[in-house]
Amino acid sequence: MPVSKNLIDAQEGNVTREVVKEYVDKRAEIENEVKLLREDMKSLDSAYEDKLDIKAVKAALRIIKLKAGSDETLVDSVIEILDTADFNLVS
């Protein structure tokens, strides 16, 4: 199978204009998609702000995600300690 000139150039440390443009175009497309998704999330929040406490739901979602990546019992124990302790957590 023949090796592309771009691959040979990259292996030799040469960067072609075509490869840079391709990368930048693809990255810009992804960044635009991320921006659109953020706008969709804001619209979703707005649509439900009179039905839910969006801030509370977001906090609960963050906790669930953290628990999924950690020892759930330990996370619950630490939350309980922080919740009942006399810490100055609110700034």
CB 83 within 8 A of CB 90: no
Q: Are 32 and 61 within one domain?
A: no
Q: Look at residue 58 in the predicted model and tell me its pLDDT.
A: 95
- Give per-residue pLDDT as tens, 9-54: 666 667 788 889 999 999 999 999 999 999 999 999 999 999 999 9
CB 16 within 8 A of CB 9: yes
Q: Are 42 and 56 within one domain?
A: no
Q: Are 37 and 59 within one domain?
A: no
Conformational region of residue 31, where left means phi above 0, alpha means psi within -120 to 50, and beta covers everything else? alpha
Q: Are 44 and 59 within one domain?
A: no
Q: Look at residue 69 in the predicted model and tell me its pLDDT.
A: 84
For residues 61 and 56, give the distance between their C-alpha atoms in angstroms, rounded to a whole number.
9
Q: How many domains does the chain have?
A: 2
- Give per-residue pLDDT as tens, 52-75: 999 999 999 998 888 888 888 888
Q: Are 34 and 74 within one domain?
A: no
Q: Is the pLDDT reported for residue 87 higher than 90?
A: no
For 56, the domain range is: 52-91
